[in-house]
Amino acid sequence: MNWDWEKLSEQKRRQGSPLPDPGRFGEDLGKKLSTFKPRLPGGPKIAVLVVLLLWAASGIYIVEPDEAGVVQRFGAYVLITGPGPHYHLPFPIETVKTPKVSQVRRVEIGFRSVYGRSGESLQNRSVPEESLMLTGDENIVDVQFSVQYQIANAVDYLFRIDHPEETVKSAAEAAMREVMGDAQIDSVLTSGKLKVQNDTKVLLQTMLERYGSGIDILAVQLQDVHPPKEVVEAFKDVASAREDKSRFINEADAYFNDILPKARGRAAAILNEATAYREQTIRRAKGGADRFSALRTEYDKARDVTRERLYIEGMESLLSTPELEKIILSDEAARQAVPYLPLGQLPPAAAPGDGAGRTEAPKADPAKAAKGGRP
C-alpha cells in the first residue's frame, strides 16, 4: 500500500495537481452530513412515526367469500370473522389465518392420479400397500377410492389436528378396511358397492367427529374394485356368469309379465263367452218350454186346428230352406218307385271291437220322404 501511495503521489506531482489526504476526506464527509441532518423537518421522529403507521396498517386483512378468518392473539384463538375487510392487532400481538371453508378437498387412497402438462389426468398409478384389503370371506380385493370433504369448523380444523389431509387419508383407509372386513367379495364386486360407499362414509365421519377434526365428509367414491391380478380372469368369468344369470332372470320376468296378463285376459274372455252362452241357452230352453206349454194349452182347446197349423209351419220352414235338398213324391209315384235311401250320407262302419259291432240305420229325412200328403 505504501508503494502504491507513493507511486500515485509521484504521478500527481508530475501532473501538477495536489493529492487528497485520506484523513481530511473523512472529516469533510462528517461535516457535510452534520450540515444536512438539521435540514429534515422532525428528523428521526418522522421516520419512527412512518414505521409505526406501517406496522399498524399491517393489521388490515380481507376475508374472501369462500374463507373464514381465524384471529389468534399470542397464538391463542380469539374470534372468527366472516367475509369482508377486517382489522387485527399487528404482528406479533395478533395473527390471522384464512382457510377456505367452502372448497371441496379430495384425498386419493389406493391410487395416485398422474397429470399431464396441461393439467388433464392421464392415468392412475396404483399404490398396493393402500389398496389391497381382506374381505369377510377371506378373499383379497384391490380397492381404489377417493374421499371428498369440506371444513365444517375452521377452529377445530386448524387447532385440534395436525396434518388434516394425512389424518383424513389414514382414517379413510382404516374405515374402508373395517367395512371390507364385514363384506363378502361377491357383493363387493357386483351389487354391494353402493352399500360399501355409504357404510364407509358413515364410519369415517364418526371417526373424524371423535377426533374433533372439524371436517365434514361429503362423499366416498369407489374408483375401481377388482381382485388381484393373479386371479382376475377367473373372477371375470364368474362375474360374466352372474351377469348372464341376471339377464336370463330379467328376460324370464319380462316374458312372465307379458304372457300372464294376456292369459288372464283370454281366460276372462272365455268365462264371459261361456256365461253369455249359458244365459242364452237357458233363456232359449226356457222360451221353448214356455212356447210348448202355450201350444199344449191351445192344443187342448182345438186339437185339429193346432195340428194343422203346426204341420203347415213345419213344412213352411222345411221348404223355405234353400240349403236343404228336397225330393217331393206324390202318393202314386211313391207306390211305384223304389224307396229312396241316402247311401252317400250313411256313417262309416264301426271298427272291429267297437261296441256291439253294428251300425245304426240312418233316420229318414221327413222332407225327402214326403209323399205330398200328411204323415
**pLDDT confidence band for 116 (50 / 70 / 90):** low
Query: For residue 29, is pLDDT > 50?
Result: no
Mean pLDDT of 71-84: 90
Question: What is the C-alpha radius of gyration for the chain, rounded to an integer number of angstroms?
Answer: 58
Of residues 164 and 344, more confidently modeled: 164
Residues 122 and 210 in one domain: yes
Q: What mean pLDDT is reported for the chain?
A: 80
pLDDT tens-digit map of 270-282? 999 999 999 999 9
Please tell me which of 40-49, 227-236, 256-265, 349-358 the model is most confident about, judged by mean pLDDT.
Answer: 256-265
What is the total residue count of the chain?
A: 375
Residues 34 and 139 in one domain: no
Query: For residue 247, is pLDDT > 60?
Result: yes
**pLDDT confidence band for 374 (50 / 70 / 90):** very low
Q: Does residue 168 form part of some domain?
A: yes
Mean pLDDT of 227-256: 85
The H or E element containing residue 296 is helix 232-301
Number of domains, the chain: 2
Of residues 201 and 235, more confidently modeled: 201
According to DSSP, the residues that pair with 134 across neighbouring strands are 140
Establish how many alpha carbons lie within 13 A of residue 99's alpha carbon, considering only the half-sphere containing its beta carbon.
19
Among 208, 227, 246, residue at a domain's last position:
227
How crowded is residue 200: how many other Cβ atoms within 10 Å of its Cβ? 24
Q: Does residue 236 form part of some domain?
A: no
Mean pLDDT of 76-103: 90
Residues 25 and 137 in one domain: no
Q: Which of 150, 145, 221, 137 is nearest to 186 (CA)?
A: 137
Q: Does residue 111 form part of some domain?
A: yes
Q: What residues make up the domain containing 15? A: 2-39
Predicted local distance difference test score (pLDDT) of residue 43: 59
Q: Of 49-53, 128-132, 326-330, which gets the smallest average pLDDT?
A: 326-330
Residue 88 in 3-state DSSP? Answer: coil
CATH number of the structural domain spanning residue 183? 3.30.479.30
Residues 111 and 28 in one domain: no
Q: Does residue 182 form part of some domain?
A: yes
Q: Does residue 28 form part of some domain?
A: yes
User: Looking up cell 395436525, which residue turns up?
Assistant: 162
Residues 132 and 207 in one domain: yes
| Residues whose CB falls within 8 Å of the CB of residue 207, separated by 6 or more in sequence, listed in order | 171, 174, 175
Query: For residue 217, is pLDDT > 90?
Result: yes
Predicted local distance difference test score (pLDDT) of residue 302: 81
Grid cell listed for 326: 228336397
